[in-house]
Amino acid sequence: MEYQSYKAEEYDVAVIGGGHAGIEAALASARLGCKTVMFTISLDWIGNMPCNPSIGGTAKGHLVRELDALGGEMGKAADKHTLQSRMLNLGKGPAVHSLRAQIDRRAYSGYMKHAVELQENLDVIQAEIISIDKKEDGWHCTTKLFADHLCKAVILATGTFLGGRVYIGEVNYASGPDGNFPATELAKSLKKLNLPLRRFKTGTPARVARKSIDFSALEVQKGDEHPVPFSFSTKTEPVNTAICHIGYTNDETKKVIMDNLHRSPLYAGDIEGVGPRYCPSIEDKVVRFADKKRHQMFVEPCGDETEEMYLQGMSSSLPEEVQLKFYRTIKGLENVKIMRHAYAIEYDCIDPLALSYTLEVKEHPGLYGAGQFNGSSGYEEAAVQGFIAGVNAAFKIQGNEPLILSRASSYIGTLIDDLVTKGCSDPYRMMTSRSEYRLLLRQDNADERLMPIGYEIGLISDETYNDFLLRKKQKEEEIERLNSTFIGPSDALNKLLEESGTAPLTTGMRLADLVKRPQLGYELLKDFDKNRPTLPKSVCEKVETEIKYEGYISRQQAQVDEMLRLEKRQIPEDIDYDDVYGLRLEAVEKLKKVKPVSIGQASRISGVSPADVSVLLIYLSK
């Protein structure tokens, strides 16, 4: 039977998806004054964490703090519902320190659902979008109930729902994550737009019953004594209420998996999608790292009011009975009972080379992508892309200049530049090693790098911004004081210096020079600094980092200045690369596909050599 659609309410911006990307996109657009709608297949699963109930981690914690500095919501929500918080990599330099928190997944979801419900200019509708069409009057989003919503811009934040298919052993079926309905019709509609779609896959481990675990056989992993919040506006220290545990696989675990490898849909050839390189399933691990005796597993709570425990590091798509068998080979899990089985999920996403820096689809003005739709993985990567897409959709409608963050400004800028310039052959995950400027892009200074931008665009409150200005002033004044304050030798000070393994003083020295010594630190010298002001812990840490790494920071800033010089050399939109004499054929092909906006972006395209860049510079100079 043919159904006739009816004309439903019109909007400036429509966000398709209520996950981490969709939430930040919808909130940003609405807060900037656009009439916005967020469509979600289920209101009950807004802000769901279908994989690990945690926020942050190596490099991901940087993304959350940067998002917060710009005016996003994820950091605030995480701080409200933290179960256990840890600052990772404290044994390494400050560039890679990164915050990670175990989160109460249902409480977090409830917080986000209420946040979008309360937001002015934002409607939240439970509806499946089955098609989007571009017509002369704008974008038309049609629901499964044939409501036709006319919109000026559409943001696709479909996560793993788009054409979703779940695999567990020999069983597979159309599904979104956590048993939700997939977005099957929308996938067909997007293919009609000739978007360059491809299939990726991800997976998740089992959730098991707390009472079936022998915790005495597992290692204890406690949180930090003084947890650091994600959000710069959080006034109180998060409280650790949960303890996590660590266990290990063994030879028997490996044997069970290898004996049943032929039943894995990944190795049987049933799954065509490409999986995440940096978050492999347990069957991937035992195959790829065959010489490794054991693999680590983390047992983490899913919430305060649930008995479900998450087995991080043990994702699988093996059959149900095989899962139970190999989990029970692990010490502490001998009698484990599975509440939700592990599964792999395959889904459609776009080749991000089709996107511009604003996350707008180049060939379809007004259509934006965010999150896993863009080929990334992870809640944090999704959230920051949602924010950027939401801001830029709103700005385009309002006639404002777009928000484009450079690689030198942020991990957010690095992530987006990597996606739209280099593309990705598997689900993209943010890591500190992806940034060549990571000493400048520390998680502790995200406010200094990005909060002025968030305030300028109107997404940071006066109170939060004034607090930031005070912290910045305190830091600058303290660094200046340490550089101008001299301290003379004394028996007590020299005793401390010798005990710390560094040379005693024979003459006066600036306090800043003492802080620079590798064996010493700002806090260690406090008893010898009579005029030291009382400062927040976060300010003290910044003071020490900037003094200790002053030389490295200066050198990295010089690299940034050179990079920005290349970024300013714009490439005309109408350039014909076939006419640029001296370019290699591979470079011509890649440049035509990516359509870089600057020499800087062109230099980062895979297949474009330094010689090609020189040819381009000569051509443009003429």
Range in 270-284, 427-441, 470-484 the model is least confident about:
270-284
Q: Encode pLDDT of 348-381 as tens digits.
A: 999 999 999 999 999 999 999 999 999 999 999 9
Amino acid at 477: E
Mean pLDDT of 90-105: 95
Say whether 475-553 and 207-346 share the same fold: no
Q: What is the pLDDT of residue 270?
A: 79
3-state class of 5 per DSSP?
A: coil
pLDDT of residue 278: 63
pTM of the model: 0.95
Would the CA dihedral through 287, 289, 295, 301 be positive or negative? negative
Q: Within a 10 A sphere around the Cβ of 597, how many other Cβ atoms?
A: 18
Q: Considering only CA atoms, which of 504, 383, 446, 534 is closest in space to residue 95?
A: 446
Model confidence at 1: pLDDT above 60: no
* For range 125-153, the mean pLDDT: 97
Q: How confident is the model at residue 398 (pLDDT cuts 50, 70, 90)?
A: very high
Q: What is the mean pLDDT of residues 311-324?
A: 96
Largest CA-CA distance found in the chain, in angstroms, rounded: 94
Cβ pair 246, 299 in contact under 8 A: yes
Q: Is the pLDDT of residue 108 over 70?
A: yes
pLDDT value, residue 557 = 92
pLDDT of residue 21: 98
User: For the domain bounded by 475-553, which CATH number is listed?
Assistant: 1.10.10.1800
Q: From residue 50, how far is each of 175, 180, 204, 283, 379 by CA, in Å?
A: 13, 10, 8, 20, 10
Angular region, 179: left φ>0, alpha ψ -120 to 50, beta rest? left
Confidence category of residue 4, pLDDT binned at 50, 70, 90: confident
Kindly state the percentage of the chain with pLDDT values over 90.
Answer: 92
Mean per-residue pLDDT for 256-264?
94
Percent of the chain with pLDDT over 70: 99
Candidates 447, 444, 413, 406; CA nearest to 566 is: 406
Chain segment 199-244, per-residue pLDDT in tens:
999 999 999 999 999 999 999 999 999 999 999 999 999 999 999 9
How high is the pLDDT of residue 53?
Answer: 95
Determine the average pLDDT of the residues in 509-523: 94
- Give the mean pLDDT of 134-151: 97
- Quick one: which of 251, 259, 378, 250 has its CA closest to 318? 259
pLDDT value at 434 more than 80: yes
Instruction: Give the C-alpha separation, 17 to 40, whole Å.
Output: 5
Q: What pLDDT was estimated at residue 2?
A: 65
DSSP 419: I
**Superfamily of 569-621 according to CATH:** GidA associated domain, C-terminal subdomain (1.10.150.570)
With cut-offs at 50, 70 and 90, classify the pLDDT of residue 322. Answer: very high
For residue range 50-84, list pLDDT tens digits in order: 999 999 999 999 999 999 999 999 999 999 999 99
d(CA 331, CA 336): 10
Q: Where are the alpha helices (DSSP H) in 45-183?
A: 60-70, 74-80, 105-118
The pLDDT of residue 277 is above 80:
no
In eight-state DSSP terms, residue 84 is E
pLDDT tens-digit series, residues 153-184: 999 999 999 999 999 999 999 999 999 999 99
Average pLDDT, the chain: 95
207-346 CATH fold: Elongation Factor Tu (Ef-tu); domain 3 (2.40.30)
Strand 296-301 vs strand 129-135: parallel, antiparallel, or unpaired? unpaired
> How large is the average pLDDT for residues 467-479?
97
Distance in angstroms (rounded) separating the CA atoms of residues 388 and 20: 13
DSSP state of 458: T
- Backbone phi, then psi, for 83, in 5-degree steps? -100, -40
Query: Mean per-residue pLDDT for 467-477?
Result: 97
Give the residue-averaged pLDDT of 552-568. Answer: 90
Token couple for 322: 């095989």
For 391: left if phi > 0, alpha if psi spans -120 to 50, otherwise beta; the answer is alpha
Q: Residue range 383-411: average pLDDT? A: 97
Reported as a pLDDT band with limits 50, 70 and 90, residue 274 is confident
- Domain positions in the chain are 207-346, 475-553, 569-621
Q: How many angstroms separate the CA atoms of 275 and 201, rounded?
A: 5
